[in-house]
Structure 1
Amino acid sequence: MKIPNFLKSIIVGIPIGITVLDSVGYVARVDGHSMQPSLNPDKEITDYVFLNRWSVRSHEITRGDIISLKSPKDPEQKIIKRIVGVAGDIILTLGYKNEVVRVPEGHCWVEGDHTGHSLDSNNFGPVSIGLVTAKATWIVWPPSRWQSIKSQVPDSRAPLNMSRTILNL
């Protein structure tokens, strides 16, 4: 019995597609307003971003990057936040149980850009790097917003400078 060509294409294409999505990346919709104004600046239009899995696998995530991660509160939910602090950074928190936190090894501090309107590290503390699934690198939809995503931390949220601050942590 001869297998039709279109069926052969499907049989070969599915594993290749899964491998690309798992290794390289995929496009995802950004819901909510916690990342405004960087993402979803207009309430009427929803941004779609390319989530680069390769960056996470090759450990190319740094302070200022917007990342996708599994929520520490609900592992079934994925959230998108900005890395504000990395291991060793000292963060002045916004309502967390400790006013100042040193980010432990293997963790990062994540926050939404829309301060005060985000469920982030100020609610659940430092996040394990193991929960990070991808790095947002491009806004791909709508066409009017097509652009690379800049890696930056707002000056007001930058980690404290150790040379200017004496802390007993």
Structure 2
Amino acid sequence: MSLKSLLKSVLFGVPIGITFLDTIGYVARVEGISMQPALNPESRNTDYVFLSRWSVRNYTVKRGDIISLVSPKDPNQKIIKRVVGLEGDVVSTLGYKNQYVKVPEGHCWVEGDHTGHTLDSNTFGPVSLGLINARAIYIVWPPERWQSLEAKLPESRKPVSLPI
């Protein structure tokens, strides 16, 4: 392969690769126990998930989706949580300053599955939809954990119907 051919491949390949990562999605390592048992069910194993940027391009998420977002506490950190409430929902909190919170417009309520071992909306409140950068679609590694990640929400975490 000549230098000219290599340079041509790089000049075409790099922009295509960057566009794919920025538009379609990427694989990310999930660290920690905050999403157990859905992710990293055994502390010694680490799950790798495919994060779809395409599926959140219009900031549309559903209750039960597992999403990646910029931490409201540390903008240099990305976190992965489950969407529990959408704008207008009234959620019953787990240790937040108010027992019930109505999720404001343009926000959602996110929680880790491992209650008590997670920093989530019960710590920092509703999260702006603008902080969401991807939705976890599949566990891609390790091979014995290959599976699609469904949007599901435990009955105990569904929004309540209290007038606020």
TM bucket, shorter chain? over 0.9
Matched, 1:147 2:151: no
Q: TM-score, normalised by structure 2?
A: 0.96
Q: Does 1:75 align with 2:75?
A: yes
Q: 1:156 corresponds to which residue?
A: 156
Distance 2:118 2:39 in 1: 13
One-letter amino acid matched to 1:133: N
The match for 2:136 is 136
For the residue of structure 1 that corresponds to 2:62, the secondary structure is: coil
CA offset digits 1:107-127 (Å, max 9, x no partner): 000000001110000000000
Residue aligning to 1:94 = 94
Query: Are residues 1:11 and 2:11 paired?
Result: yes
1:109 equivalent in alignment to 2:143 = no
2:133 alignment partner, SS class: strand
Q: Which 10-residue stretch deviates more, 91-100 or 57-66?
A: 57-66
Give the 3-state SS of the residue equivalent to 1:153 in structure 2: coil
Q: How many residues align?
A: 163
Task: Name the residue aligned to 1:25.
Answer: 25
> For structure 2, which runs of at least 5 residues remain unmatched after alignment?
none
Distance 1:3 1:46 in 2: 40
Q: Which runs of 5+ in 1 are unaligned?
A: none
User: Could you say which residue in structure 1 is the equivalent of 2:55?
Assistant: 55
Quick one: distance in 1 between partners of 2:147 and 2:40?
13
Q: Check the 8 A contact 2:59/2:132 in 1, yes or no.
A: no
Distance 1:58 1:91 in 2: 23
Aligned to 1:64: 64
Structure 1 ranges of 4+ moved more than 4 A:
none
Give the alignment's Cα RMSD to 1 decimal: 1.2
**Displacement after TM superposition at 1:79 (Å):** 0.1
Amino acid of the residue matched to residue 153 of structure 1?
L
What's the offset of the Cα at 1:3?
5.4
Identical pairs, percent: 65
Task: Give, in whole Å, the separation in 1 of the partners of 2:116 and 2:159.
Answer: 18
Instruction: Give per-residue Cα distances to partners, 1:11-38, cap 9 Å, x unaligned.
Output: 1100110000000000000000000000
Q: One-letter code of the match for 2:11?
A: I
> One-letter code of the match for 1:90?
V
Deviation at 1:4, TM superposition (A): 1.7
Contact 2:27–2:49 (8 Å) recurs in 1:
yes
Distance 1:27 1:34 in 2: 19
